[in-house]
């Protein structure tokens, strides 16, 4: 389990995470919802140490980390080894082929052999339906294809958790679906994931747990059923706001 306690993150004088505590259970899919600017990305990036909160603690299985203290290279490595991030704009490496995008990290970082990483990369690519694109460059592919490849890149590191920050927000609806189906499969297979999304239908179908963030704090932490069917006025407003926006399209 990942559990963060009392994290405070400031940008200048602005408190973006306000003494926030939350757990992310093993082998489950946690969906983080909330209005934009509420601190979802900051929270997610704190788990992977791309953002350093001023204070708070992270406990990750047997790893313990105090954000207020200097973090050793070893600890940072161990935390990142258990997590892999998937970004809104996928951030593939444009100078590497699709295959190299997936194999470079396990080869360079984990010291695995080329044969092993390539075999695994090809298997992952065929699972996401992109086996024949191994030797292309990212710029030659659509956004949806690139995002599926970035999921393969994350999986190739055998992370305990995959952290996904609005993985489909930059995609057209048809392309979005291909990515969502893959995430649903992973979720069913018991891959632990933490997903920030604005897609309520997807959240409802994939989440084991919902965390609702507003203004740097957790407003709701519970099951999808509670969230969608029995929640507070504020969350009903949020949900109807989203629904209203969808209707307006």
Ligand X SMILES: Nc1ncnc2c1ncn2[C@@H]1O[C@H](COP(=O)(O)OP(=O)(O)O)[C@@H](O)[C@H]1O
User: In whole angstroms, how close is the CB of 40 to ligand X at the nearest point?
Assistant: 3
Name which of residues 69 to 108 contact other proteins (CB under 8 A): 70, 77, 80-81, 83-85, 87, 89, 91-97, 104-105, 108
Residues that bind ligand X (CB under 6 A): 11, 16, 34, 36-42
Per partner kind, with CB cut-offs from 5 to 8 A, the member of ligand X, other proteins, Mg ion, none near residue 198 is: none
Do residues 6 and 58 lie in contact, with contact meaning Cβ atoms separated by under 8 Å?
Answer: no
Name which of residues 31 to 90 contact Mg ion (CB under 5 A): 41
User: In whole angstroms, how close is the CB of 197 to other proteins at the nearest point?
Assistant: 19
Per partner kind, with CB cut-offs from 5 to 8 A, the member of ligand X, Mg ion, other proteins, none near residue 29 is: none
Per partner kind, with CB cut-offs from 5 to 8 A, the member of Mg ion, ligand X, other proteins, none near residue 240 is: none
Binding site for other proteins (CB under 8 A): 48-50, 70, 77, 80-81, 83-85, 87, 89, 91-97, 104-105, 108-109, 137-140, 153, 157
């Amino acid at each position: 389990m990942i559990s963060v306690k009392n994290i405070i993150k400031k940008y200048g004088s602005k408190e973006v995470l306000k003494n926030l505590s939350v757990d992310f259970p093993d082998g489950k899919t946690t969906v983080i919802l909330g209005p934009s600017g509420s601190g979802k990305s900051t929270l997610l990036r704190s788990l992977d140490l791309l953002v350093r909160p001023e204070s708070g603690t992270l406990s990750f299985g047997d790893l313990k980390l105090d954000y207020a203290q200097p973090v050793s290279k070893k600890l940072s490595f161990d935390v990142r080894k258990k997590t892999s991030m998937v970004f809104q704009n996928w951030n593939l490496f444009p100078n590497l082929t699709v295959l190299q995008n997936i194999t470079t990290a396990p080869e360079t970082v984990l010291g695995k052999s080329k044969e092993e990483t390539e075999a695994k990369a090809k298997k992952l690519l065929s699972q996401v339906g992109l086996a024949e694109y191994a030797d292309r460059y990212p710029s030659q592919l659509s956004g949806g294809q690139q995002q599926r490849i970035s999921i393969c890149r994350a999986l190739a590191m055998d992370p305990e958790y995959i952290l996904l920050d609005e993985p489909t927000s930059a995609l057209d609806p048809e392309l979005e679906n291909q990515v969502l189906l893959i995430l649903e499969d992973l979720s069913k297979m018991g891959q632990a994931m933490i997903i920030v999304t604005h897609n309520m239908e997807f959240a409802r179908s994939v989440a084991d747990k919902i965390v609702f963030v507003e203004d740097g704090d957790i407003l709701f932490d519970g099951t999808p059923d509670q969230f969608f069917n029995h929640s507070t006025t504020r969350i009903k407003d949020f949900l109807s706001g989203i629904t209203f926006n969808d209707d307006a399209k």
